[in-house]
Chain A
Amino acid sequence: MSVNTLKIDGQDIAVEEGATILQAAREAKIPIPTLCYLEGVSPAAACRMCLVEVKGSPKLLPACHTAALEGMEVSTNTPKLQSFRRMNMELLFAEGNHVCAVCVANGNCELQDLAIRVGMDHSRFAYRFPDRKVDMSHPQFGIDHNRCILCTRCVRVCDEIEGAHVWDVAQRGEHCFIVSGMNQPWGKVDACTSCGKCVDACPTGAIFRKGSTIGEKERDREKLSFLVTAREKQQWTR
């Protein structure tokens, strides 16, 4: 197996061929913020929080989806990236309807945590207050599109781990939303096995267990990568 050597934030790092910049950085304990990235499923590069600068590239590149190549020089925390991440975060908040004070995920939300981490104290962009729906038709779970950031984690866990493929992304641009089945109420989609993996995967309060009230959302994120490891490597780690 061949190995690539590269520099991340000035540090020399060697990784297996095929690893991404994010994997290389994580191995070297260099933090890169992520939101849509989820251990155990394929990367989507949807949220753009993990963008890094690579010497020689005019574009910012998503660390979760860019291979770590021989001789690369990567910067993960430049002033440009910092200001970009903050702006990106503001846009995520301005795009949906996030009323943290009454949200099931309040205090246990990756979007909230990341907003704090990138130093977002307010949004410079006007909130759009889009008119979005809440679907409570499923007997156990609910989805509140107001809080969805279109990270597609639910789409990927349902397809790649559970194999049910209940979720998809419909429409384009600002009209994008997550659909269940053929744009049916979630409770009407026969494919759904009610396994709850999407509840565990969702970084925000968009997908939740019914009956949960403010700040009561709990998730078992590690279960997802545990399942993948068990299936692919026949290793039961818990």
Chain B
Amino acid sequence: MTRTIVVDPVTRIEGHAKISIFLDEAGEVSDARFHVVEYRGFEKFCEGRPFTEMAGITARICGICPVSHLLASAKTGDKILAVKIPPAADKLRRMMNLAQLTQSHALSFFHLSSPDFLLGWDSDPATRNVFGLIAANPDLARAGIRLRQFGQTVIEKLGARKIHAAWTVPGGVRSPLSEDGRQWILDRLPESFATVSLALDLFKDMLDKALKGEIDIFGQFPTLYMALVNSKGEWEHYDGHLRFTDSHGNIVADGLSEDDYSQFIGEAVEPWSYLKFPYYQPLGYPDGIYRVGPLARLNVCDRIGTDAADQELQELRDLAGGVPTSSFLYHYARLIEILACLEKLQILVDDPDVLSSRCRAQGGVNHLDAVGVSEAPRGTLFHHYQVDENGLIQKVNLIIATGQNNLAMNKTVAQIAKHYIHGPEIPEGLLNRVEAGIRCFDPCLSCSTHAAGQMPLHLQLVAADGQILDEVRR
């Protein structure tokens, strides 16, 4: 008899989703699906609004990475104004994005994912969370919380608020960094460096031992990768051009402009999920599966461009024996990216430009169609606006990082389920592994469906005829 197992809701991710696992006649996993069951329709209610409001509106899509939307929206706005923003604004926006990547990655690693690694997959779900972590390893938990706070505070020092700072505007930013803010960042950087190297050592040690098996099971498969790189082919988070590479490290496409995204990214729709399925158009759907985010950024770039992070990147590549293709290594990539962000912040904070008040260019409505791109913590984020000659929004399209990982998340869930599930018995720790497969991508469903909420867990086991045989909720 074939059955379906549904995990609903999935926990410790941002948003609401469920997982269905389909069993065949023999009780073996035939397929798995990651359903996103929320819908918000942000794109619709932006219509008719002045484009200058878009940063503020789209930042409300998410309280986790509003900065990414602020940046992508401001960059789209720059293009509508047809201005080149002042160098100070470019550097200040970069600082904010680096801070954002740091805080978001710290949240993903320390608060959401490390309880699995450190307390064990099969430990009691009631304590398998950040509070359990605090009890078991208070120093690490405290360091992680402070690292996130560091990123949040840098955002606040720049934009006057932690969340939804309306500081990035079309044409630049509203104000420079203050001397006090600069000093605060300088004072706190050493501690942040220490935390990330502590976490890197710990995680690398576990990859050698306790977590060795996970690398092969948690989403280990070839796909394309997409991310921004700079003109030297180095790691990039704010500007530059798009590049696709494959799992052998070959460059599939390079020098792509976000303006042409619709020519290389297709968006498929499936009836069972509100989350669209973007794919690399030249390869079609679903063969054009690609991954974005921390691991993709590291795979796509030739090098990072800062010493310590480049050393770590080399270690990761050595460990994988080439291009790391396991989704489990997203966690590793996040830590390396935090290190890269801190190194780049260190360089920027010493740059006198970030204190310059020449940070906002003015302009009228000069382009009616514009696409902005930036690298959000979870991957490449596109904003596409069409405006009328007065700058009122006619049409909006947002392509969100988590959506682009949708195909890979489904594949990861299927791979984990196939490995662990044989027959109708589903132990709790196993559910947790399935969820953890999703958490590798640190998906933010609030953004990707432009939907809100918190993610509980619901798992269903369904027969070949569609009948639900078993259900687990928590």
* Same complex origin of A and B: yes
* Shortest Cβ gap from B245 to chain A (Å): 37
Q: What residues on A are CB-neighbors of B48 within 8 Å?
A: 133-134
Q: B166 to A214, Cβ gap below 8 A?
A: yes
- Kindly state the separation between the CA atoms of A137 and B390 in the bound complex, as whole angstroms: 6
Q: B169 to A102, Cβ gap below 8 A?
A: no
Q: A134 to B392, Cβ gap below 8 A?
A: yes
- Dominant SS among interface residues on chain B: loop
Q: In this assembly, does B391 line the interface, its C-beta being within 8 Å of a C-beta of chain A?
A: yes
B351-367 vs A, CB cutoff 8 Å, 1 = contact: the mask equals 00000000000101000
Query: Among A139, A142, A187, A215, which residue has its beta carbon within 8 angstroms of that of B50?
Result: A142
- Kindly state the separation between the CA atoms of A170 and B382 in the bound complex, as whole angstroms: 41
- Kindly state the separation between the CA atoms of A136 and B60 in the bound complex, as whole angstroms: 24
Q: B390 to A213, Cβ gap below 8 A?
A: no
Q: What residues on A are CB-neighbors of B164 within 8 Å?
A: 101
Q: A211 to B166, Cβ gap below 8 A?
A: no
Known: A134-B50, A213-B166. A101 touches B56 (CB 8 A): yes
Residue of A nearest to B53 (CB): A102
Residue of A nearest to B57 (CB): A102
Q: In this assembly, does A212 line the interface, its C-beta being within 8 Å of a C-beta of chain B?
A: yes
Residue of B nearest to A99 (CB): B57
Within B44-80, the residues touching A (CB, 8 Å) are 48-50, 52-53, 55-57, 60
Q: A214 to B362, Cβ gap below 8 A?
A: no
* Shortest Cβ gap from B362 to chain A (Å): 6
B158-178 vs A, CB cutoff 8 Å, 1 = contact: the mask equals 000000101001110010000
Known: A134-B392, A136-B390, A136-B391. A214 touches B50 (CB 8 A): no
* Shortest Cβ gap from A144 to chain B (Å): 8
- Kindly state the separation between the CA atoms of A213 and B49 in the bound complex, as whole angstroms: 12
Please give the number of chain A residues whose Cβ is less than 8 angstroms from any Cβ of chain B in the complex: 18
- Kindly state the separation between the CA atoms of A139 and B174 in the bound complex, as whole angstroms: 22
Q: B362 to A213, Cβ gap below 8 A?
A: no
Q: What residues on B are CB-neighbors of A135 within 8 Å?
A: 390
Q: B55 to A213, Cβ gap below 8 A?
A: yes
* Shortest Cβ gap from A54 to chain B (Å): 44
Within A93-116, the residues touching B (CB, 8 Å) are 101-102
Q: What residues on B are CB-neighbors of A213 within 8 Å?
A: 52-53, 55-56, 166, 169-170
Query: Among A136, A139, A187, which residue has its beta carbon within 8 angstroms of that of B392?
Result: A136
- Kindly state the separation between the CA atoms of A94 and B376 in the bound complex, as whole angstroms: 37
Q: B390 to A211, Cβ gap below 8 A?
A: no
Please give the number of chain B residues whose Cβ is less than 8 angstroms from any Cβ of chain A in the complex: 20
Within A191-221, the residues touching B (CB, 8 Å) are 210-216
Q: A134 to B49, Cβ gap below 8 A?
A: yes
Residue of A nearest to B169 (CB): A213
* Shortest Cβ gap from A57 to chain B (Å): 45
Q: What residues on B are CB-neighbors of A101 within 8 Å?
A: 56, 60, 164
- Kindly state the separation between the CA atoms of A61 and B164 in the bound complex, as whole angstroms: 43
- Kindly state the separation between the CA atoms of A102 and B57 in the bound complex, as whole angstroms: 6
Q: What residues on B are CB-neighbors of A215 within 8 Å?
A: 166
Within A129-161, the residues touching B (CB, 8 Å) are 133-137, 139, 142, 144
Residue of B nearest to A140 (CB): B364
Query: Among A102, A134, A187, A211, which residue has its beta carbon within 8 angstroms of that of B56?
Result: A102
Query: Among B49, B52, B55, B57, which residue has its beta carbon within 8 angstroms of that of A212?
Result: B52
Q: What residues on B are CB-neighbors of A214 within 8 Å?
A: 53, 55-56, 166
Q: A136 to B56, Cβ gap below 8 A?
A: no
Q: A102 to B60, Cβ gap below 8 A?
A: yes
Residue of A nearest to B393 (CB): A134
Q: What residues on B are CB-neighbors of A134 within 8 Å?
A: 48-50, 392
Residue of B nearest to A144 (CB): B50
* Shortest Cβ gap from A90 to chain B (Å): 23
B380-418 vs A, CB cutoff 8 Å, 1 = contact: the mask equals 000000000011100000000000000000000000000
Q: What residues on B are CB-neighbors of A212 within 8 Å?
A: 52
Within B181-230, the residues touching A (CB, 8 Å) are none
- Kindly state the separation between the CA atoms of A216 and B55 in the bound complex, as whole angstroms: 14
- Kindly state the separation between the CA atoms of A187 and B364 in the bound complex, as whole angstroms: 14
Q: What residues on B are CB-neighbors of A136 within 8 Å?
A: 50, 390-392
- Kindly state the separation between the CA atoms of A104 and B205 in the bound complex, as whole angstroms: 52
* Shortest Cβ gap from B168 to chain A (Å): 9
Q: Which 8 A-B pairs have the closest CB atoms?
A: A136-B390, A214-B166, A102-B56, A214-B56, A213-B169, A213-B52, A102-B53, A102-B57
Other than the given A101-B164, A136-B392, A213-B55, 18 more pairs (CB < 8 A) read A101-B56, A102-B56, A102-B57, A133-B48, A134-B392, A135-B390, A136-B390, A137-B390, A139-B364, A142-B50, A144-B50, A210-B364, A210-B391, A212-B52, A213-B52, A214-B55, A214-B56, A216-B174
6 examples of A-B residue contacts, CB within 8 angstroms:
A101-B56, A135-B390, A144-B50, A211-B362, A213-B52, A213-B169
List residues of A whose CB falls within 8 A of some B CB.
101-102, 133-137, 139, 142, 144, 187, 210-216
